[in-house]
Structure 1
């Protein structure tokens, strides 16, 4: 999918919050992102008093990957030029469930195809997706022959809810708490467990006729209870597509991660009917499996705004402001407390969040490179 030379002008940017509950700090960041996207697109950030329709000509910022292209078309979301995020046809396509094939003879939901996993096989860790408890037991039996496996609920983010099991008996308590109907709709991932893991991010954003691509890493911080949580991302962002990213001097494991993200994305574009995305982000893990072999593979995709999106926005704006700019380093930061902000920080949230306590969220951009 390529950007056309001219994108139709938009009448406004609308934040489309599709979640049951959005924390205060996230809602504040989403509003700031909507304002930034409006500046890029040369239109206002609007909050419609009536439900939007296709005739309004809006650009949307959804809080989640959207499902059902026919329904979204009533809002005017028909291509990647209409939203910052992604759109898929069936619920499971929005999750990490697409990342693995089914075990032999397993049940599956409407729209399922193993063709995605076959095409993307070189970019994946060993694992299975299942849509029933019986199939989960069968998949676990196969994977445990080679070592520990990781149980990954597909709707959880940032590794939450994941468990490592080494025996079939240890699987049963985890399955007992799962709802069969939810499992049949969304799926569950069972995957080889890795040790000594490094996780890389590879992504691309396409807004207002611009494309920029990046690789990066995530860092952790401690919340007010002392738990280790996401603390931000450091990105190297280039103007252009993945081919521009691959022109950088890269370590081999990083070059592999980028190529695996490309293979994964190409499989999605070919085998997920109705898939569109202007924001694409992939987490790639590198580590040792139960037999001690070094493995690398895409863990999951994010076709929606994410933790790195504030940095993505600043990079897009920098490229828009300076046509000669080819590369920047951008970062996001989530700090518990009230730190003294760097002079080059763009603040997206600072306050006493009702759930997390005192929190500051900001982004920075630096190391401008005009070399071609």
Structure 2
């Protein structure tokens, strides 16, 4: 039996069971949950155990976005003050699916799909479609191929994985064949125009202990232990306040446009699905040129759960809580692959070890500037 905590509450991790979690992700999330417990003055109690923990006095760090308002309520999660992450009413809102509309009004769609969501923010999205059947995905892909190469995405994948570029009908067929293992009730794909020389902006907002911090930054790619491209980290600029404050410190027209796109997506999501609540909101915004040299900019993905930049986010919350004289922080998240990875001085390490499935890895946060 667990001893009763003498601290005002407990931070617990939560496995929602919707997707398997890699070992390195579990350990990274544990590191971040411990940081949150220290920030809140709570006990870190490991994975949630309903037989021992109950629901009173708990702050949850779910591995995934929580799906279902009733499910969250049974855990005592009613507002953004109760978790690091978010709660959504429908399964597809926890995936990449919401970033595009359907190819036709009568296309396959899950219960709860709101057609007005993406149409209200069309200027902030890339040309593309979301499909909930293989036939709709093929039809969408063939239509987009008239404009140039397309990118097909597994809506459940993260970290740059599960994506294929197709330049012909045959390549589209081959890419779709890789997605047929999903349950038919949750089969979904995103098909969008492919961008060359893409810059991926990371725009986000976090809330905890009455403090709101927002940021803009860019992502890096690296090569993983299999030789494939993977998420390599993010370089972020964080300020007290909301998306307007983040936009105010963005130095270029492109960066400001990325912040505006994220803000528009966030507002539209809240308007169309008012049940959503989240203490962590992150949006990937891609900018680049299509095959005809036309500049494009659009939201690629939304994340209302713990993510790759969360080490920086939690470090910023801790800094701004302890130092009321500070209003700006520049920091970076790093994912380094290989056995020869070296821990830099002053790094906040979240994982340094070997994942049997992914090999040796180092994941850390590094604060570069405070003012």
| Same fold by TM-score greater than 0.5 | yes
> Shift of the alpha carbon at 1:184?
4.1
TM-fit CA distance, 1:307: 0.8
Q: How do 1:37-48 and structure 2 match up within 5 A?
A: 37-47=36-46, 48=48
Q: Show CA shifts across 1:238-275 (max 9, x none).
A: 11111211221510000000000000111100112421
SS of residue in 1 equivalent to 2:27: helix
| Deviations 1:282-336, CA, capped at 9 Å, x for gaps | 1111111233210000001111111110111111111011011100111112223
1:341 Cα deviation (Å)? 2.6
Question: 1:344 matched to which residue of 2?
Answer: 346
Compared with structure 1, are the counterparts of its residues 285 and 354 closer, same or farther at alpha carbon in structure 2 (3 Å cutoff)? same
Q: Is the 8 A contact 1:10 1:41 kept in 2?
A: no
The Cα offsets for residues 114-159 of structure 1, whole Å up to 9 and x where unpaired, read as 1110112111001111111221222123212222221111011123
> Is the contact between residue 88 and residue 273 of structure 1 (CA under 8 Å) also seen in structure 2?
no
Q: Which residue pairs with 1:126 in the alignment?
A: 127
Q: Which residue of 2 aligns with 1:89?
A: 89
Conserved in 1, the CA contact under 8 Å of 2:154 and 2:179? Answer: no
1:214-240 deviations in whole A, cap 9, x for unaligned? 111122333344433222211111111
Deviation larger for 348-357 or 276-285: 348-357
Q: What is the DSSP-based 3-state SS (H/G/I as helix, E as strand, rest coil) of the residue aligned with 1:215?
A: strand
Q: Is the 8 A contact 2:341 2:361 kept in 1?
A: no
Give yes or no for contact 2:250–2:256 (8 Å, CA) kept in 1. no
Whole-Å separation in 2 of the counterparts to 1:179 and 1:171: 13
- Kept in 2, the 8 Å contact 1:235–1:330? The answer is yes
Match of 1:17 in 2: 15
> Could you tell me how far apart the structure 1 residues matched to 2:333 and 2:88 are?
27
Aligned runs of 1:1-372 on 2, under 5 Å? 11-19=9-17, 21-47=20-46, 48-51=48-51, 55-104=55-104, 105-179=106-180, 182-248=183-249, 250-336=251-337, 337-369=339-371
Q: Determine the C-alpha separation between the residues in 2 that align with 1:145 and 1:340.
A: 47
**Does the 8 Å CA contact 1:89/1:273 hold for their aligned counterparts?**
no
Deviates more, 1:183-192 or 1:24-33: 183-192
Please provide the CA RMSD for this pair: 2.0
Structure 1: any 5+ residue segments left out of the alignment? 1-8
Provide the rounded CA distance (Å) in 1 between the counterparts of 2:307 and 2:55.
28
For residue 338 of structure 1, report the CA deviation from its aligned partner.
4.5
Deviation at 1:189, TM superposition (A): 0.9
> Deviation digits for residues 53-91 of structure 1, max 9, x if unmatched?
774231100011110011110001111111101111111
TM-score by length of 2: 0.91
Q: 1:183 to 1:149 in 2, by over 3 A?
A: farther
CA deviation vs aligned residue, 1:7-35 (integer Å, no higher than 9, x gap): xx962111012345433322221111111
In the comparison of the two structures, how many residue pairs are matched?
A: 361
CA distance in 2, matches of 1:118, 1:51: 45
Q: Flag structure 2 segments of 5+ consecutive residues without an equivalent.
A: 1-6
* Contact residue 117 and residue 269 of structure 2 kept, 8 A: yes
Contact 2:152/2:191, CA 8 A, preserved across alignment? yes
Note if contact 1:164-1:193 (Cα within 8 Å) is conserved in structure 2. yes
C-alpha separation in 2, matches of 1:177 and 1:269: 33
Contact 1:127 1:189 in 2 (8 A): yes
| Secondary structure class of the residue paired with 1:30 | helix
Specify the alignment match of 2:4 in structure 1.
none
Partner-residue secondary structure (3-state), 1:146: coil
3-state SS of the aligned residue for 2:318? Answer: helix
What are the superposed Cα offsets for residues 331-361 of structure 1, whole Å, 9 maximum, x if unpaired?
1122233444332211222223222333222
Relative distance call for 1:242 and 1:49 in structure 2 (3 A) is closer
CA distance in structure 1 between the partners assigned to 2:66 and 2:351 by the alignment: 25
Contact in 2 for aligned 1:84/1:277 (Cα 8 Å): yes
